[in-house]
Every structure is written in C-alpha cells, then in structure tokens.
Amino acid sequence: MSADPHFSWLLVATVAAAVGFVTLVDVLLVLNLRRHAEDRGEDFEVPRGLRIMSLLLPLGAAAALVFTGARDLVQATVPPLHSLEVSASRGEEGWDFRYSPEVAADSLHLPVHRPVRLTLESPEGPLTLKIPALRLERTARAGAKVSAWFEAQVADTFALWGEAGHRAPEEGLRSAMVVHSGPSFDRWFASKSDLLEMYPPVEAGRHLVERHGCLVCHSLDGSPRTGPSFWGVLGRHRVFSDGTTAVADSSYVRHSVLQPQSQIVQGFPGVMPSFEGKLRDADIAAIIDFFETLRENGEEQ
Ligand code: HEC
C-alpha cells in the first residue's frame, strides 16, 4: 500500500529495535538486582514494583501508539467534506480522469491546497496508479474501486503513470498531474465544461437546454407543457397577454430567455425564470441554432 517499500522496512526495523531495547534494559536490570542480592547473601525475588512497571509501561506505550495511530489512520482515510471528487480509470487512449459525467481529461488537473478524493476503478484487470511526488500508489483489482485523498501543496506539473497487471509503467498510461493555482484551475475547469467547446453549435444548444432545465417546461415534440413547445418555435406568430403580437425570430428568442416577463405568450402563465447571467450570448446563439432544426424542414423530428 505504501508508495515506497523502504518506509515499511524502516518501520519494522524501528519497532524491532524498540522492543529489543526495552527487553535488554529489563533483563540487565533484573540481572543487576540479582547480583546485588546475592552479594548481600539474600534470596532474590524480582521486586513487585519492577514487575508491575515492566508490564504497565510497555502496555501504556502500546496503547498510546494504537490511539494516535488510529486517529492518524482515520485522518488519512476519511477525506474532508469539501474535497474535489475525481475518478480515474483507463480510457481508450490512456487515462480518463473524470470530474463529472461531462468533464474529463487524460491528465490529472487539480487546484493547489484543496483536498482531492481520487477514486481509481478498473472494470477489467488490475490497474495501478502512481504519483511519486505525492508518494501515492493505489491498485484497483478487477471490478473494484480504491480511493485516496490528498492535498497538493505546490502548483507545478508532476509525473504520473499507470501499470496494468505486470509491474512496469505502461506507455499509454504515462501522463501528468498538473497542479494549478486556484483561479487557473477554475479557468481550466470552465473551459473543459464549456459545452460550446465540446460540441458543434446545434449539439451544444441541445445540451444547453437539457443542462439548464428548459425541458422541464418546454417539450421538443410539439406538445405544450407549462410553456409552449420548442418544436417549430422559430417563425411562429405570437400573441401576447397584453394583446401585442410578434413573429418569433432569433432576437425574440434571445429576449424571451433574458427577459421572459416582458412579453408573456397568451394562454401561458408568466412563470419562466430569467436566464440573464446564466446563459451567455454565444450560448443563446447555440440554442437558436438548435431551434432551427426543430421545424418541418429541419433535420430533427
Ligand atoms: C419554469 C418553467 C420554464 C422554464 C424552466 C423555462 N421556460 Fe421558457 N417559457 C415558460 C413559459 C410558461 C413560457 C410562456 C410564457 C412566457 O412567454 O413567458 C415560456 C416561453 C419561452 C419562449 C417563448 C416561446 C414561444 O413559443 O413564444 C422561449 C423561446 C423560451 N421560453 C425559452 C426557454 C429556454 C431556452 C429555457 C431554458 C434556458 C426556458 N425557456 C426555461 C416556462 C419556462
């Protein structure tokens, strides 16, 4: 489990030396007392105090060690509540470090000074992850998960690699751990989770309406819900509750998303929340591109 076997050996040697030393002192003390007793011509008996002491002292020391050890073990195994959760597994080409269902990378990006809980999974065959800079090594058996938590202390790039089965770094699993300063991690994360970076506009628009919960109130198939369906929305002739009318074009959609309360479509309740500050202009443009496909001559049903 430990990243370096030397540490385990050092631990065993230290414990053995401590036990040996205490036993030696005990034996020498008893021998010395016996010699003195014999010198004085008395019968020797190990003094009661010494017997109790030689029992209690090691027991007390062992209990203290177990207590502090257990406390450290709990601290080392239970991650703090606000930890960043990252799962690691083997992707098609190297590592798949996943931050959410949508956000993943083939190298491990982390913010500095923030606890991270890393969970390693391997559906097929054992998989080992090694990050020497953190003295971290974990092996997930086939079909199992293991996790570790840690906090990176220095913003820099470090080596990271994996071994699958045999104990040799696998070329495809050689990667890096990039520890960012706080704002730079947020920028990296935002760029990774930006749907416009991940998909072409129409696809991004579809994901945006899913992610922002629009489909709770709007259908894609023409059936009205709390709000009108998105099917065929562009070009529709609109009558509002104040009697004014308009033809739904891209600027109408933009307006509906940012100031839904300013024009309420007749026959619907004015319950749509504003997405001002939540959707950028480019996001709304992608949603409009998606709406373009939602009509008779569009590509989608
Ligand atoms: C809580 C329910 C609700 C949510 C969530 C919601 N809307 Fe609406 N939306 C409505 C209702 C109700 C109307 C009709 C009344 C109005 O005009 O405000 C409407 C109207 C619209 C219209 C005008 C439709 C037309 O046929 O004239 C558009 C465009 C629109 N919403 C887009 C969106 C988008 C995009 C999202 C997500 C980013 C969204 N809505 C989220 C309830 C909702």
pLDDT in tens, 33-88: 889 888 988 888 888 888 888 889 889 988 999 999 998 888 878 888 889 999 99
For residue 264 and ligand 1, the question of a CB distance below 6 A is answered with yes
> What is the model's pLDDT at position 207?
94
Report the nearest-CA residue for atom 34 of ligand 1.
Answer: 214
> What is the C-alpha end-to-end distance of the chain, expressed in Å?
54
d(CA 226, CA 91): 41
Report the nearest-CA residue for atom 1 of ligand 1.
Answer: 272
Q: How far is the CA of 293 from the centre of ligand 1 (A)?
A: 18
111 by Cβ neighbours in 10 Å (0-12 / 13-18 / 19+) ranks as buried
Q: How far is the CA of 100 from the centre of ligand 1 (A)?
A: 27
- B/e letters for 39-53, b = 16+ CB within 10 Å, e = fewer, are eeeeeeeeeeeeeee
Report the nearest-CA residue for atom 16 of ligand 1.
Answer: 264
Residue 5, both tokens: 């076997």
For residue 284 and ligand 1, the question of a CB distance below 6 A is answered with no
Other residues' Cβ atoms within 10 Å of the Cβ of residue 5: 8
> What is the model's pLDDT at position 47?
82
CB 98 within 8 A of CB 89: yes
Q: How far is the CA of 251 from the centre of ligand 1 (A)?
A: 14
Instruction: Please give the distance of CA 26 from its chain centroid, rounded to a whole number.
Output: 52
For residue 227 and ligand 1, the question of a CB distance below 6 A is answered with yes
Nearest-atom index, ligand 1, CA of 279: 38
Report the nearest-CA residue for atom 37 of ligand 1.
Answer: 214
Query: Which residue ranges of the chain lie beneath pLDDT 70?
Result: 1-4, 297-301
Identify the sign of the CA torsion 269, 202, 107, 123: positive
> What is the model's pLDDT at position 298?
58
For residue 80 and ligand 1, the question of a CB distance below 6 A is answered with no
For residue 268 and ligand 1, the question of a CB distance below 6 A is answered with yes
Residue 130, both tokens: 């090694």
Nearest-atom index, ligand 1, CA of 238: 27
For residue 90 and ligand 1, the question of a CB distance below 6 A is answered with no
Residue 219, both tokens: 């259908």
d(CA 265, CA 263): 6
For residue 209 and ligand 1, the question of a CB distance below 6 A is answered with yes
For residue 114 and ligand 1, the question of a CB distance below 6 A is answered with no
d(CA 248, CA 231): 12
For residue 257 and ligand 1, the question of a CB distance below 6 A is answered with yes
83 by Cβ neighbours in 10 Å (0-12 / 13-18 / 19+) ranks as middle
> What is the model's pLDDT at position 300?
46
Q: How far is the CA of 204 from the centre of ligand 1 (A)?
A: 18
Of 216, 218, 292, the one to substitute when testing ligand 1's pocket (max ligand atoms within 8 A of C-beta) is 218
Q: Which residue type does 166 have?
A: H
Q: How far is the CA of 218 from the centre of ligand 1 (A)?
A: 7
CA distances from 199 to 187, 204, 209, 286 (A): 18, 5, 14, 10
> What is the model's pLDDT at position 77?
80
